[in-house]
């Protein structure tokens, strides 16, 4: 797993901070709503339905994982591409996020399936609540990090239109 700055509760944050944490880069609204423009910048939006673990990804997430765009990807396949240390940290934070209705930010290493090798990715996740306040999904942003990128930092907020 990539080195990370010490944040409270292992990078967990309350949902009222969602806008602040869904901001890996400063984008204008036309780019934030444009799948191709996001992918061009190494960004993708994602959603996981907890009822069946079905994943929805924009093009940028497929590119980060080295998968063919719009292919069917199971959660077990995507999780298997995380390096063991990154996978363990991500699963712990995911469980915590669901149980406590909190978001999280984590820099992870993944093995791209297309043979391009290992890369670093910033994972930003937040729970999706139904009308009764029950967590029914997770969604967020995945950002490809260039080689040698500094550890996770708080960056300027951007509003993303989530899946």
Sequence-distant contacts of 28-33: CB under 8 A, at least 24 apart: 29/159, 32/158, 32/159, 32/160, 32/161, 33/161
Q: What is the number of structural domains in the chain? A: 1
Specify if 101 maps to a domain.
Answer: yes
Q: Is residue 6, in this structure, part of any structural domain at all?
A: no
The residues pairing with 144 across neighbouring beta strands, listed in sequence order, are 121
Run of H or E including 146? none
- Looking at every residue in the chain, the average pLDDT score rounds to 80
> Is 4 within the bounds of a domain?
no
Proportion of the chain above pLDDT 70, given as a percent: 71
Is 19 part of any domain? yes
Residue range 125-139, pLDDT digits in tens: 999 999 999 999 999
Residue 35 lies in a domain: yes
| 146-155 pLDDT per residue, tens | 776 655 544 3
Give residue 25's region: left, alpha or beta (phi > 0; psi -120 to 50). Answer: beta
Distance in angstroms (rounded) separating the CA atoms of residues 30 and 148: 29
C-alpha–C-alpha distance, residues 38 and 17, integer Å: 22
Residues of 27-49 as b/e, b for ≥16 C-beta within 10 angstroms? beeebbeeeebbbebbbbbbbbe
Domain hosting 68: range is 12-159
- CATH number of the domain where residue 75 is located: 3.30.450.20
pLDDT of residue 114: 84
Q: What is the pTM of this model?
A: 0.78
Whether the predicted pLDDT of 142 surpasses 90: yes
Specify if 7 maps to a domain: no
Question: How does pLDDT run across 5-64, given as a tens digit for each residue?
Answer: 443 344 666 666 666 655 544 456 666 678 888 888 889 999 999 999 999 999 999 999
**Which positions ≥6 away from 81 have C-beta within 8 Å?**
65, 110, 111, 112, 113
pLDDT for 160 beyond 90: no
At 52, is the secondary structure helix, strand, or coil? coil
CA–CA dist 141, 149 (Å, integer)? 17
């Amino acid at each position: 797993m990539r080195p990370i700055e010490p944040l409270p509760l292992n990078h967990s944050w309350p949902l009222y901070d969602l806008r602040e944490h869904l901001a890996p880069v400063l984008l204008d609204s036309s780019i934030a709503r444009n799948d191709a423009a996001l992918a061009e910048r190494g960004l993708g939006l994602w959603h996981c339905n907890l009822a069946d673990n079905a994943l929805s990804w924009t093009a940028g997430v497929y590119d980060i994982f080295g998968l063919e765009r719009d292919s069917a990807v199971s959660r077990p396949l995507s999780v298997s591409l995380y390096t063991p240390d990154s996978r363990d940290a991500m699963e712990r934070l995911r469980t915590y996020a669901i149980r406590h209705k909190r978001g999280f930010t984590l820099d992870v290493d993944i093995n791209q399936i297309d043979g391009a090798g290992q890369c670093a990715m910033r994972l930003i996740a937040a729970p999706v609540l139904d009308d009764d306040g029950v967590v029914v999904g997770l969604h967020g942003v995945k950002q490809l990090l260039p080689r040698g990128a500094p550890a996770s930092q708080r960056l300027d907020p951007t509003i993303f239109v989530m899946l």
